[in-house]
Structure 1
Amino acid sequence: MVIFFDRISASKLMEEKEFRVYELSYLFVPLIEEEAVSAKAGDFKNFLSNLGAQFISEEFPRLIQLAYAMDKSIANKKYKFTNAYFGWFKFEIDAESISKIKEYLKHNDDIIRHLLIKTIKENTQAPKKLSPRPEFRKKFKTEGESAAGASQTEEKGEVNEAEVDKKIDELIA
């Protein structure tokens, strides 16, 4: 079997890059002053833009408490962090640029940890939860409960002791 390639179409295929959607979450060290966090996030975003990233959504870094302490060596000194600035970017970029991003993240002393995943373009954020209502359980009545409740409301008149004793004797017997 012989396959013929058109040189023009083959070169077009080589020029077309495969763009994928990625989400990159990161933790900046808390040693950065709060005023400088926006500059660091801007520098990070510019780095991604220079590689050809087209941003879909993002969240500005905010200080959070970490679930456990994380270690990071900065300038040959080991630090232990219990909080960090968490932020993320969702962007579209060619697959070839991912290795450059990973290398940048590996050697950046301002980032404690990061997570880079392939995702979809649609909104993947969970909707905000509404605060719970004061009543947590719905009260469902069974047939027996509703009948008993109805009979109790009907019998709220005068109580005759003789009738009560008679009913008790019937139930016991």
Structure 2
Amino acid sequence: MHFLISSAQPYTLLDESLAQHPDVAEQTVLTALRTWMRPRCDSVRKHESWGAVLSDAGLGNDCLLCFDLLMHSLTDESCRPLDTRCRCASDLAKDEAALLQTLALLQRMRSDEAIALLDDWLPRPASGVVLKVARWFAFWLLDAGLEIRVRERRVTYVH
């Protein structure tokens, strides 16, 4: 067996154990996303709207419109249903992690890596539109002091 550990590999696997513990910025986006996808979560028993989640975090009406457009773009253009969890879930779904990572990369002007993540689940023409809307949303998050972490990790290959 040959083990190769490379820290220069891009983050491609979104199953890192630390990703299951979102920080405040990530949790804000996750709660808004999950509330948008499932507005009536009986387990949570809170009549919270995704708009209230983002407004409470200091985001304005333009950002709320942008988030709604982003979510409509993702759900309308996706090749498959989005993998998301209920608001009461503690673990991250693959698409939730990919969206968080996309926003983090866009906040750092790493568009090529963000496009690669979007290309995994959106058809090529749609990924360009989603990228533009996601970029605006990512910048509004930054403006409100919500910085999403880029989760770099070392990948071990066994040959």
Normalised-by-shorter TM-score class: under 0.3
Q: Which one has the bigger helix percentage?
A: 2
Which TM-score applies when normalising by structure 1?
0.24
Which TM-score applies when normalising by structure 2?
0.26
Q: Which one has the bigger strand percentage?
A: 1
Bigger CA radius of gyration:
1
